[in-house]
Structure 1
Amino acid sequence: MAEEYLHLMGRGALLSLRVMLTSLAVALVLGFINGVIKLFGPRWLRAISWSYTTIVRGIPELVVMLLMFFGGEMVLNMLLNMLGIGALRFNSFISGVLALGFVFGAYFTETFRGAFQNVDKGQLEAAAAFGMSTGQMCRRILAPQMLAFAIPGINNNWLGLMKASALVSLLGLEDMVWLAEQTGRATHKPFLFYLIVSLIFLSITACSGWFFRYLSRRYAFYGAGG
């Protein structure tokens, strides 16, 4: 019996990890695009980006998640109907991922914006004077240095996203938190299963810390202005 419950927890942990990583991908893309818009976009787009980051960072993740779960599908289907496309159905996984990605995209926006601003503009001007194309400057100078400055913020936001991913259990997604609640009730041992969940989160945190320390060392040269 215990082995069966532990197998279920393992399945739930893998699902939770999928939620975290997929949400991270959404947040990184959204944050990068909005960071670029905030710095280089036209005024009307910068206003939209500013409103997005200001409003979203002021609303709890759970509230945004519930709004997207109950209202996101309705709004999207209204737009699809206007385009003559059939309706879509959101499940708890999609709602959770989109909500987490949407919320933390606002935090990543500020991370990338600050990282871009820390890059020495003199190096870009020197590269242009040497005849580098825009693509070469972005690939060889701007991107590596921007990433070096962004790594600490990405790490912090990832840890926040990882912990917030536990909220998807409230949408009925059978992740490890949801399974810990169910198995705890069935066995009358909730402390044991919540302890297992805590240890899994701590393991992910430890692995993440090692990975980001490696990235920091890897890009330290660029962050020093090399």
Structure 2
Amino acid sequence: MMIDLYGFGPALAAGALMTVKLALSALCLGLLLGLLGALAKTSPYKPLQWLGGTYSTLVRGVPELLWVLLIYFGTVNLMSALGEYFGNPDLTLNAFAAGVIALGLCFGAYATEVFRGAILAIPKGHREAGVALGLSKSRIFTRLILPQMWRIALPGLGNLFMILMKDTALVSVIGLEEIMRHAEIGVTVSKQPFTFYMVAALMYLGLTVLAMIGMHLLERRAARGFTRSTQ
């Protein structure tokens, strides 16, 4: 039996594409923030430790929805001031950019702890071996620490990405036309809430399954050359 979407099928498909773009953009920002946060928290310098700890604690202590609203509405005056300075009084932060910043900020706070745990799981002897070989600190990090950290952190990051994929629905409250926004419009027009919300749920489920498959392939690739001891 075909589901009657009252002509909103193409709109929902476009919403799915927007959801993927939003999730991947936020993922890139979040990975960068998470790595920087983890390096700060594992740094021997107290100010950097404090900065990394404050970031992860502050962001994780506030719901993601509030971050979306705070960043979107809280930047109005700032963007207006910048617009006037550069001669563009209509300068604003669009919903997509606000969503990327908010979701990337939240993803990065949780990824900070995942990366930190991965860094601490690497034996200190590996760093000492790099020093003994005469490698610089940057080469020790890029050649020895980063590949191992990535392999250890990947399962945790995969779980965070699943959450991020579903959290994209929060950005619908500021008008971004992703899956939930188009589903809400379809409900308003058709008065069929169950149909549209069920289709939205199936679309999110499909995207999550695809993401799970992708993460599984990445984990297999990252694990090449490593053997697990069986006891």
After TM superposition, the score normalised by the length of structure 2 is: 0.87
Q: Check the 8 A contact 2:5/2:196 in 1, yes or no.
A: no
Q: Within 5 Å, give how 1:1-226 maps onto structure 2.
A: 2=5, 4-40=7-43, 42-75=45-78, 80=82, 85=86, 88-221=91-224
Q: What's the C-alpha RMSD, in Å, of the aligned pairs?
A: 2.4
The aligned amino acid for 2:101 is: L
Structure 1 runs not aligned, ≥5 long:
none
Tell me how far apart the structure 2 counterparts of residues 204 and 49 of structure 1 sit (CA, whole Å): 32
SS in 2 for 1:40: coil
SS in 2 for 1:132: coil
Tell me how far apart the structure 2 counterparts of residues 224 and 50 of structure 1 sit (CA, whole Å): 34
The aligned amino acid for 2:186 is: T
SS in 2 for 1:98: helix
Residue 107 of structure 1 deviates from its aligned partner by: 0.5
Q: Check the 8 A contact 1:148/1:223 in 2, yes or no.
A: no
The aligned amino acid for 1:189 is: Q
More deviation in 67-76 or 216-225? 216-225
Q: Check the 8 A contact 1:32/1:108 in 2, yes or no.
A: yes
Q: Check the 8 A contact 2:151/2:222 in 1, yes or no.
A: yes
Structure 2 runs not aligned, ≥5 long:
none
Q: Check the 8 A contact 1:184/1:190 in 2, yes or no.
A: yes
Runs of 4+ in 1 over 6 A off after TM superposition: none
Tell me how far apart the structure 2 counterparts of residues 218 and 63 of structure 1 sit (CA, whole Å): 37
Residue 29 of structure 1 deviates from its aligned partner by: 0.9
Q: Check the 8 A contact 2:40/2:51 in 1, yes or no.
A: no
Residues 55 and 197 of structure 1: CA distance in aligned 2, closer, same or farther (over 3 Å): same
The aligned amino acid for 2:216 is: R
Identity %: 36
Number of matched pairs: 223
Q: Check the 8 A contact 2:162/2:208 in 1, yes or no.
A: yes
Tell me how far apart the structure 1 counterparts of residues 44 and 203 of structure 2 sit (CA, whole Å): 41
More helix by share: 1
Residue 97 of structure 1 deviates from its aligned partner by: 1.2
SS in 2 for 1:161: helix
The aligned amino acid for 1:153 is: G
Tell me how far apart the structure 1 counterparts of residues 197 and 43 of structure 2 sit (CA, whole Å): 46
SS in 2 for 1:4: coil
